[in-house]
Structure 1
Amino acid sequence: MEGTIDHIEIEASDADEMAEFLQTLGFEIHRETEHHGKSYELKPPNSDQPLFEIHTVEGEEVPGINHIAFESDQVESLAEELREDDVDQVSDPYYVEATGRTIVNFRDPDGRRFQVVSSEE
């Protein structure tokens, strides 16, 4: 699969507190949404690096890395390729209005979640 890492989603005990902490490290807020409750996307210093997407944990979730997402202009065809390669739990592509992007989720052999997301326009 080709593509760069687009973002790393981190589930935090408190998204506001984590966003403030990352800002003290030089991160800048790229976008705030109501996706998964309140969500922050932050650009690392020297922003030629993946975004950090921060959410507050909900329900049975625990703080930690939720998923790593790769960026691609070929989300739909990559979903088919992943299925053909027998990758676990490949979702159908779906559109997320809050971010304006199409997403496909899938799992590695140990059950960790990964994503492919469409490029931002």
Structure 2
Amino acid sequence: MIGEIDHIEIEASDATEMAEFLKKLGYEELRRTEHHGQSFELEPADGEGPIFEIHTVDGEEVPGINHIAFAVDDIEGFTEDIEEKEIDSIVGPYHVDKTGRTITNFRDPDGRRFQVVSDDEDE
């Protein structure tokens, strides 16, 4: 079963500048990683709400929302379920060392990317 929104990834013209903007709005830096060069993860100060993952655009990317990720308890089971339902463009599950998460990506009918994540620390 799909869970709450885990994070929303935003591709920014300047990740550092975007992270500082979100801090002015009351977000706090959760962590920095080398994912996509340099990535910032920020969460609301009260801990209520999704994390924003921010990185600087690269190559053919454009500024905007890259994807919305939902938390799941059983990523393998969820991936098998959407495969059976013939959801488009499924990639995963696979582990991302830099973030410590296992993820599966898939596309909606218009081609937008969605993601489900399992935090390896929770396993």
> TM-score, normalized by length of structure 2?
0.94
Q: Which structure 2 segments of 5+ residues have no match?
A: none
The one-letter code matched in structure 2 to 1:19 is: A
Q: How many residue pairs align between the two structures?
A: 121
Query: Helix, strand or coil: the match of 2:37?
Result: coil
Query: Helix, strand or coil: the match of 2:53?
Result: strand
Aligned residue for 2:28? 28
* Alpha-carbon distance between aligned partners in 1 of 2:23 and 2:42, rounded to the nearest angstrom: 8
Aligned residue for 2:76? 76
* Alpha-carbon distance between aligned partners in 2 of 1:45 and 1:120, rounded to the nearest angstrom: 23
Aligned residue for 2:13? 13
* Alpha-carbon distance between aligned partners in 1 of 2:96 and 2:14, rounded to the nearest angstrom: 23
Kindly, what percent of the aligned residue pairs are identical?
65
Aligned residue for 1:115? 115
Query: Helix, strand or coil: the match of 2:26?
Result: coil
The one-letter code matched in structure 1 to 2:63 is: P
Kindly provide the CA deviation profile for residues 40-69 of structure 1, in whole angstroms up to 9, marking residues without a partner as x: 000023211110000100011110000000
| Deviation at residue 99 of structure 1 after TM alignment | 1.3
Stretches of 4+ aligned residues off by more than 2 angstroms: none
| Deviation at residue 35 of structure 1 after TM alignment | 0.4
Aligned residue for 1:86? 86
| Deviation at residue 98 of structure 1 after TM alignment | 1.1
Kindly provide the CA deviation profile for residues 10-65 of structure 1, in whole angstroms up to 9, marking residues without a partner as x: 00000000001111111000010000110000002321111000010001111000
Q: Which structure 1 segments of 5+ residues have no match?
A: none
Matched, 1:57 2:57: yes
* Alpha-carbon distance between aligned partners in 1 of 2:120 and 2:22, rounded to the nearest angstrom: 23
Q: If each structure's strand is expressed as a fraction of its own residues, which one has the higher value?
A: 2
The one-letter code matched in structure 2 to 1:40 is: F
The answer to whether the Cα contact below 8 Å between 2:100 and 2:119 also exists between their aligned partners in 1 is no
